[in-house]
Amino acid sequence: MAESTDMIRPVPAVDKAARVLRALADGGRAQGISELARALAVSKGTLRDVLLTLARHGLVVRDPDTRFRLGPELRALADASAPDLRSLAQPYLVSLMESFGETAILGLVIDGKLEIAARAEPATDLHMTAPLGRRLPLDRGAHAKVLSGHEEIGYDDQELFRGVRAVAAPITDARGRKVAALMVVGFKERVDLRTLRRIGERCAAAARSLSQRIGAQAA
């Protein structure tokens, strides 16, 4: 018979480490020991030991200015435990591509950029290509409007790339964070503004469905 979590006595060191990781995640940026110690109400000496231990395992990284941020090993742990968004998104990308004959893209928010992680490209000779691993800025473009703003659908009429139109919708996780975007891109000669609106509605519906599949609450 499994023990109730209410009956388990917390291990102080593990509890402190978990609180530190949560504080760094909630802060969304690198933080110094003094700042973290105040936020967590723990001594700087204890906190330093916890941070350096986490750093040994790659769970946090210390910057040159002695600030700490979440480390790369956390992504590996998350990938092992969470649904693979790339795999989940692929059928949606194929459906969007087949419906409109244009390139559909999944982009993941990584280190302040949007990284192309999956795609579905039409078999036509003339279409937009989307190299996997390419990173896009988050200050302009259809994806920027939905990831940095509050819009459900973002439109780009040749803003990011001349002669290219795009539409994007955000994907949110269980904590309500915008972690990715679904996009469809095409040349302006092939995608008029009316069609762009139609694609946007389908893109938003697909993004909502994907968000729910990774734990987001239904609107």
Over residues 144-166, the mean pLDDT reads: 92
**138-149 per-position pLDDT tens digit:** 999 999 999 988
pLDDT of residue 129: 86
- Among 79, 100, 123, the domain-final residue is 79
pLDDT of residue 216: 82
* pLDDT exceeds 50 at position 161: yes
Q: What total number of domains does the chain contain?
A: 2
DSSP-assigned states of every residue in 181-211: EEEEEEETTT--HHHHHHHHHHHHHHHHHHH
- Are 130 and 148 members of one domain? yes
Residue 179, domain extent: 82-213
Of 115-124, 169-178, 209-218, the poorest mean pLDDT is in 209-218
- Are 87 and 60 members of one domain? no
- Are 131 and 209 members of one domain? yes
* pLDDT exceeds 90 at position 33: yes
pLDDT of residue 91: 97
pLDDT of residue 219: 62
pLDDT of residue 119: 95
CA–CA separation, 180 and 108 (whole Å) = 4
Alpha helices for 83-192 (secondary structure H): 85-100, 142-147
Q: Is residue 1 part of a domain?
A: no
- Are 92 and 177 members of one domain? yes
* pLDDT exceeds 50 at position 2: no
- Are 108 and 17 members of one domain? no
Amino acid code (one letter) for 113: K
Q: Is 214 helix (H, G, I), strand (E, B) or coil?
A: coil
Q: How far is CA 163 from the centre of its chain?
A: 27
Over residues 71-77, the mean pLDDT reads: 81
CA–CA separation, 146 and 199 (whole Å) = 15
- Are 201 and 187 members of one domain? yes
CATH assignment of the domain containing 173 = 3.30.450.40
Would the pTM of this model clear 0.75, i.e. be above it? no
Over residues 96-101, the mean pLDDT reads: 96
In a 13 Å sphere around the CA of 115, the CA atoms on its Cβ side amount to: 10
Over residues 7-35, the mean pLDDT reads: 87
Q: Is residue 107 part of a domain?
A: yes
